[in-house]
Structure 1
């Protein structure tokens, strides 16, 4: 059954309006909704595990040898190490910023029980969810390396001033400041190249940390030690020699650029005691720690999940909405125009009369019946 003119006009208006609405939504979603999604998620709970590279030197100072009565300090070689970090999101966190807490341990897995624990650090920092940079609050974080008599960690306020656990959403091929929790300051981390890890595009960055005197960073008994020269294994017999602990590192990170997720990490750590930072005397720790395969795969899964969300709202959904909107707009316009054309008034046609020419007005009330047959004229005789 054909639609009436009024119904056609209504349907056409609905289609045009809906099409226009979808086109507007296709434009707004990438500019507004995507802006809300392009942030580091607040539900992060990440565990990363980095064992030592078996093909690189791995040395650890035997602490007991420093306090033994005889013999020089002993450094063990081919030590199996494992670094583990557990990262969570804590308060204060909201739509623009988030507080990350990372507990990190380094263990000698060849040692028994607690004797294998080489270091434990709890780091907190509040960052901008989009840029990954620390907020301007002072302090914007803390670092805990010591504990009280009850075993509770003692957090020292520390001002963080560089990237750390996340890169910016939309990472660029450039140099960024990157914060180191051992040196407690930032050093440049430089873009090296673009590569792939398990078919995922990543940016490779590298940071070189120069020899840093840790005794000037944190005043602890382990960062500055005085022992007889013989214990350090240098000439001087029982003459006390004070040495500081120095730290260097070459850090390599592979970052998924869309989300800023660190897919893989590697650190070539060297800590040593020395009278001069340029000349190590006794190695305290030397090892290359690299994310294991499970950690890399887990980080890839996190990155891809966030990439899918960005792609859905940034490209797929706008394209679909835009295409459907254009189709509805065109259908509505065509439907409306065709409906108007079918309602154009026709020309009034008058029937022919027998004498030629058009008949009288056939409209109602004119007194003319189109079904009447022409009458015959009758001639009457005169004088009747």
Structure 2
């Protein structure tokens, strides 16, 4: 006999299947989804501004024959970072256009330094791929120069750790460790503080620029020797501090203690070219913090919220399906076919009469009548 397949059984199967699917989603999203999300965005765009007062060499006075250093000069360093091609699922090219200006002078007379830096990085690790090789352009009328590199620059990796990372310095064009200092808090966000110290670098060996090594009369330099020519080298040092939101790798705050100077001995600065401590301004810090919060929210949504909800709903659906399936199985009744006596005529008992007990007919030809003669069951005689 066929069994009845009711709506409850179909619903139970649907619930079990849905529950299994949701549990699979809860397991797979934190691994597969996070690997897709934890990458440097392809639409990266950020502007950071640092302001301070510092000491600056007056280049016009130097050309006129006197090394004059202006103090307490208002300075603004601006960095505009965007994502460029080549870019795909694995890599992205970051371009940084950076300027340093003295705001007490207008136009080109106030521009102290400017460069455009391009580097292609792995979107997960933030490390350069050198495919293509990064470039640095320091003069508008000159082509960019290829500069290979092997350290972080504009972003840290997702889930940054409390350890030292290699960090590339654009001015020195060298890589050295940026070391973990402490865990602290900025604008309500947990951040990791890293510090890098750049020891004096001979800039004449970094870039072939005429201002990186100058020969001028001693009087012009303001040192003993009268009119005797004195050759001085331009040196560069820096103490860099960055505060990184570790989940996203976003720099919430940055600060550089820059010192460029002319000297005959790197350990004895003689004429300052630039000396200033340049921290991010408050607007930049808040903007960077907001960018980090957005990234944290997305990571939390994919890595925690959705898997938890999917897991809970999956368990509920699975249990409901199993319970409904078991209850439906106990209540199933056999389906009746056309040959069954349904409902039974004897109040519930089903009697299969032997055809031998069925009454037969006998015809009386003398009276032309037919009468029924019951056939006796032979078993009754046996019982006697």
The interval holding the TM-score normalised by the smaller chain is 0.7 to 0.9
Aligned equivalent of 1:104: 98
Q: Distance in 1 between matches of 2:12 and 2:80?
A: 59
What SS is found at the alignment partner of 1:80? strand
Distance apart, 1:220 and its partner CA: 0.4
Confirm whether residue 362 of structure 1 aligns to residue 362 of structure 2: no
- 2:260 equivalent among 256, 271, 279: 271
- Equivalent residues of 2:84, 2:92 under 8 A apart: yes
Aligned equivalent of 1:356: none
Aligned equivalent of 2:140: 147
Distance apart, 1:362 and its partner CA: 2.6
Structure ID, larger Rg: 2
What SS is found at the alignment partner of 2:148? coil
- 2:88 equivalent among 85, 90, 94: 94
Q: Distance in 2 between matches of 1:97 and 1:279?
A: 43
Q: Distance in 2 between matches of 1:268 and 1:73?
A: 22
Please give the per-residue CA displacement for 1:49-83, whole angstroms capped at 9, x wherever unaligned: 1111x5xxx100011121214xx411000000000
Aligned equivalent of 1:238: 227
Aligned equivalent of 1:80: 74
Distance apart, 1:364 and its partner CA: 5.8
- Equivalent residues of 1:5, 1:339 under 8 A apart: no
Confirm whether residue 178 of structure 1 aligns to residue 174 of structure 2: no
What SS is found at the alignment partner of 1:134? coil
**Which runs of no fewer than 5 residues in structure 2 stay unpaired?**
335-345, 355-384
Aligned equivalent of 1:65: 61
Please give the per-residue CA displacement for 1:101-158, whole angstroms capped at 9, x wherever unaligned: 0000000001122200001110000000000000043x5200000132xxxx520011
Please give the per-residue CA displacement for 1:165-201, whole angstroms capped at 9, x wherever unaligned: 0000110000001010000111110000000001100
Distance apart, 1:344 and its partner CA: 6.4
Matches within 5 A, 1:294-373: 294-343=283-332, 362-363=349-350, 366=353
Aligned equivalent of 1:24: 24
Distance apart, 1:9 and its partner CA: 1.1
Q: Distance in 2 between matches of 1:215 and 1:247?
A: 10
What SS is found at the alignment partner of 1:243? strand
Aligned equivalent of 2:118: 124
Q: Distance in 1 between matches of 2:196 and 2:349?
A: 99
Aligned equivalent of 1:380: none
- Equivalent residues of 1:256, 1:263 under 8 A apart: yes
Matches within 5 A, 1:23-62: 23-52=23-52, 58-62=54-58
Aligned equivalent of 1:10: 10
- 1:289 equivalent among 278, 281, 302: 278
**Which runs of no fewer than 5 residues in structure 1 stay unpaired?**
346-358, 368-384
Aligned equivalent of 1:262: 251
Q: Distance in 1 between matches of 2:215 and 2:137?
A: 25
The two structures have a TM-score, normalised by structure 2, of 0.86
Aligned equivalent of 1:205: 194
Instruction: Say if 1:253 and 1:338 are closer, same or farther in 2 by CA, change over 3 A.
Output: same
Q: Distance in 1 between matches of 2:347 and 2:91?
A: 88
Question: What number of residue pairs does the alignment pair up?
Answer: 340
